[in-house]
Amino acid sequence: SEAVAGGVLGPVGRDRTVAVVGTGTMGQGIAQVALVAGHPVRLYDSAPGRAEEAVAALTARLDRLVEKGRLDATAREAAVGRLYAAQDLGELADAALVVEAIVELLPVKQQLFADLEKVVGDDTVLATNTSSLSVTAIAGGLRLPGRFVGLHFFNPAPLLPLVEVVSGFATEPDVATRAYETVKGWGKTPVRCADTPGFIVNRVARPFYAEALRVFEEGAADPATIDAALRECGGFKMGPFELTDLIGQDVNEAVTRSVWESFHQDPKFTPSLAQRRLVESGRLGRKTGQGWFSYAEGAERPEP
């Protein structure tokens, strides 16, 4: 019904519902983007009360945008009116696009999409925000794997423009195009790529972290010095140590591990023992107040 001349589907219309499953960090960010773009948005999370919390958090974020003059009060009212916390997956039945941002575990994601396929229409586009799992593998058990695509947003999703639109082995080109056009219409800067471990950004960034960790492990320089050198001379906004403190050492290590495993333990991607120690001791970065650097309350800048 939405096919246009030439058979290529256009972007998902603004009047069509976008569902976001998993309303943590990424789900909330993606929901905000779709909501501000004008879609009715339905949120679902398996943890009781989490979707309602996300509605409250998103409403507060919209209020801040109004305070800052980046959203007018009428648009805010309308957006809040389009936001809905679903109690079960069945309430997502009329979604034209479902974006999944749940826990990064293959069997859990596969189960979710198997359940979703029982409730949504055959023309609903199903998307995953996975950063390190195979899009092809997540879609493996689907009845209609052609409508499945990766939509990899970066954190914080409302601020960072890049979205990797990832085609799995079975993804129909029209579906990838439709996903691409949709996020472009949301003001994002999508890029298309095929499904390989780490896609583009997470793969190319691996040596940035890995070599910095090796320089540190060999005793050549401390984290603050390596960060400073890469900021000053490398033109990076953040050095690898402060950046992984922001991402979370556990999250960063898990992505490295996943890329390493996917390439049959290619030594190029070997995870770092120094980073392992940090993760084991709970020094996960900003979120725990300590990683490579300390983020004690009131500290002007992180202390090594």
Residues 188 and 289: their CA atoms lie apart, in Å, by: 32
**By the rule CB under 6 A, 129 interacts with ligand NAI:** yes
Sheet of 148-153: strands edge to edge? 83-85, 41-44, 17-21, 95-100, 125-128, 148-153, 162-167, 189-194
Q: What residues contact 90, with CB distance under 8 A and at least 6 apart?
A: 119
Stretch that binds ligand NAI, among 123-131, 138-146, 192-200, 232-240 (CB under 6 A): 123-131
Q: Does residue 160 interact with ligand NAI by CB under 6 A? A: no
Residue with tokens 């039945």: 93
- Judge whether 258 counts as a catalytic residue: no
Candidates 256, 260, 264, 263; CA nearest to 213 is: 256
Q: Does 155 bind ligand NAI (CB under 6 A)?
A: yes
- What is the torsional sign of CA 187, 189, 194, 197? negative
DSSP class per residue in 187-224: T-EEEEEE--TTTTHHHHTHHHHHHHHHHHHTTS--HH
Q: Which is nearer to ligand NAI, 153 or 260 (CB)?
A: 153
Would you call 39 a catalytic residue per the annotation? no
Give the shortest CB-242-to-ligand NAI separation in angstroms: 15
Q: Which stretch binds ligand NAI (CB under 6 A): 40-48, 67-75, 177-185, 262-270?
A: 40-48
86 binds ligand NAI (CB under 6 A): no
Residue 202 known to be catalytic: yes
Q: Under the criterion CB under 6 A, does residue 33 sit at the interface with ligand NAI?
A: no
Q: What is the dihedral of CA 112, 96, 76, 30, to 10 degrees?
A: 40
Binding mask 192-231 for ligand NAI (x = CB under 6 A): ----------------------------------------
Nearest distance from C-beta of residue 72 to ligand NAI, angstroms: 29
The three-class DSSP label of residue 7 is: coil
Q: Is 164 a catalytic residue?
A: yes
Q: Does 112 sit near ligand NAI (CB under 6 A)?
A: yes
For residue 128, what are the contacts with CB-CB under 8 A and spacing of at least 6?
99, 100, 109, 113, 135, 138, 148, 149, 150, 151
Q: What's the start-to-end Cα distance of the chain, in Å? A: 59
**Which is the catalytic residue, given 100, 164, 242, 253?**
164
Instruction: Tell me which of 14, 16, 50, 184 binds ligand NAI, using CB under 6 A.
Output: 50
Q: Which of 134, 202, 252, 272 is catalytic?
A: 202
**Cβ of residue 101: shortest distance to ligand NAI, in angstroms?**
4
- DSSP code, position 267: G
Q: Which residues pair with 303 in a beta bridge?
A: 294
**Which of 134, 152, 167, 272 does the annotation list as catalytic?**
152
Q: Is 108 in the site for ligand NAI (CB under 6 A)?
A: yes
Which residues belong to the active site? 131, 152, 164, 202
Binding site for ligand NAI (CB under 6 A): 21-27, 45-47, 50, 101-104, 108, 112, 129-131, 153-155
